[in-house]
């Protein structure tokens, strides 16, 4: 029998701790169950750019056939990624961009468009008049820059809406807790907080709630993850007025990786769709995604059962051989 070729995919993640990135990894692993001849080597840089660069180098030293990377910041990664690419190792950029053309595919949502969609929602929601606070994700990461750009582009059409303050939440709930607590006086006097992700929008909400001012202003975020404690639930509960679906691209990244390694052509820029989720459509969308999550759990259980059966079968076959041989 011919032996199927095996492949090693390296995945360098800027941070692995939050629900969105856990979902991304999960989406990858689910897609990988269809490709048993692939192994994933996973590295989590925990928000450190220097750590992420050395982890990419270590992955190369270990020997990988392809690199998937979600780079922490825009600027510092060009050189290391160009080095990887020059060695003939294909590169897939996921969710965050960098300053080099040395990659085979970029997969992610259109963050400028998401910023614009947020601007349209805010303009309508505030009826063209109001004061807002913008909470940035890590300012040196591409989604933060692009979401900001899209927002401003759209808000220019609403001269009555002012961004009175920009805060740096670095994508993280803890950081937001600190910066928002230090700006309570500003927050008392605004109509809406727009954060570059739901984690930060919910972090800002929690601080305001603690101070008893949460009902005076509205909160808008991005990601709209299903599941408990995430964006979709928060919209259902009326805590977030809106959020924008930001697909993880985990499944598409694995699919693209397997195509590249099979010598097939792939689309270089793969833009994943987003939609606005608010009180008017959250029930239907939540029902759908809850169902999808439940089906995924079923599929995973079944595939574990098949694995177990295959193993039992393999060991029975061995026993049979041993019995016959002796
Ligand atoms: C998760 C996250 C998401 C956000 C994305 C941007 O780490 O902060 O909430 O949409 O990264 O890269």
| Closest CA relative to residue 155, chosen from 182, 129, 190, 189 | 129
pLDDT at 153: 98
| pLDDT tens-digit series, residues 4-61 | 899 999 999 999 999 999 999 999 999 999 999 999 999 999 999 999 999 999 999 9
Residue range 232-245: average pLDDT? 97
Answer whether 24 contacts ligand 1 (Cβ < 6 A). no
**How large is the greatest C-alpha to C-alpha distance in the chain, in angstroms?**
88
Token output for 310:
């295959």
Cα of 316 vs centre of ligand 1, distance in Å, is 47
Answer whether 135 contacts ligand 1 (Cβ < 6 A). no
Residue 33: exposure state from Cβ atoms within 10 A (0-12, 13-18, ≥19): middle
Answer whether 97 contacts ligand 1 (Cβ < 6 A). no
**Does residue 323 surpass a pLDDT of 70?**
no
pLDDT at 295: 87
- Record the pTM: 0.92
Closest atom, ligand 1, to C-alpha of 197? 9
**Does residue 246 surpass a pLDDT of 70?**
yes
Cα of 274 vs centre of ligand 1, distance in Å, is 14
pLDDT at 131: 98
Cα of 58 vs centre of ligand 1, distance in Å, is 24
**Does residue 252 surpass a pLDDT of 80?**
yes
Of 265 and 295, more confident: 265
| Closest CA relative to residue 109, chosen from 24, 234, 227, 218 | 24
Q: What confidence category does residue 142 fall into, taking pLDDT thresholds of 50, 70 and 90?
A: very high
Q: What confidence category does residue 305 fall into, taking pLDDT thresholds of 50, 70 and 90?
A: confident
Cα of 74 vs centre of ligand 1, distance in Å, is 14
pLDDT at 321: 66
Could you give the CA distance from residue 30 to residue 25 in angstroms, rounded to a whole number? Answer: 9
Q: What confidence category does residue 300 fall into, taking pLDDT thresholds of 50, 70 and 90?
A: confident
Q: Which of 19, 20, 138 to mutate to test the pocket of ligand 1 (most atoms within 8 A of CB)?
A: 20
Token output for 258:
């397997």
pLDDT at 297: 85
pLDDT at 312: 83
Distances from the Cα of 136 to the Cα of 109, 118, 170, 200, 210, angstroms: 17, 13, 7, 9, 22
């Amino acid at each position: 029998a011919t032996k199927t070729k095996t492949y090693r995919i390296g995945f360098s993640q800027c941070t692995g701790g939050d629900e969105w990135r856990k979902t991304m990894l999960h989406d990858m692993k689910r897609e990988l169950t269809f490709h048993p001849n692939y192994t994933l080597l996973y590295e989590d840089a925990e928000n450190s750019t220097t750590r992420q660069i050395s982890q990419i180098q270590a992955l190369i030293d270990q020997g990988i056939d392809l690199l998937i990377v979600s780079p922490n910041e825009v600027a510092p990664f060009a050189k290391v990624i160009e080095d990887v690419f020059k060695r003939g190792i294909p590169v897939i950029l996921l969710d965050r961009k960098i300053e080099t053309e040395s990659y085979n595919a970029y997969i992610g949502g259109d963050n400028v468009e998401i910023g614009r969609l947020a601007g349209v929602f805010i303009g309508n929601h505030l009826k063209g008049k109001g004061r807002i606070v913008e909470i940035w994700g890590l300012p040196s990461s591409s989604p933060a820059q692009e979401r900001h750009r899209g927002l401003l582009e759209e808000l220019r059409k609403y001269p009555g809406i002012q961004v009175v303050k920009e805060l740096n939440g670095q994508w993280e709930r803890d950081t937001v807790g600190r910066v928002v607590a230090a700006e309570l006086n500003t927050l008392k006097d605004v109509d809406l907080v727009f954060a570059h992700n739901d984690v930060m929008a919910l972090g800002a909400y929690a601080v305001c709630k603690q101070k008893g001012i949460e009902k005076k202003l509205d909160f808008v975020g991005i990601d709209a993850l299903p599941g408990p404690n995430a964006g979709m639930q928060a919209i259902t509960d009326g805590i977030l007025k809106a959020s924008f679906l930001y697909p993880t691209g985990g499944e598409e990244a694995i699919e693209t990786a397997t195509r590249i390694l099979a010598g097939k052509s792939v689309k270089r820029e793969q833009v994943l769709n987003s939609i606005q989720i608010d009180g008017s459509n959250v029930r239907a969308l939540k029902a759908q995604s809850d169902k999808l999550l439940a089906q995924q759990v079923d599929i995973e259980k079944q595939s574990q059962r098949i694995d177990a059966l295959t193993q039992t079968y393999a060991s029975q076959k061995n026993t049979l051989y041993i019995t016959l041989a002796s």
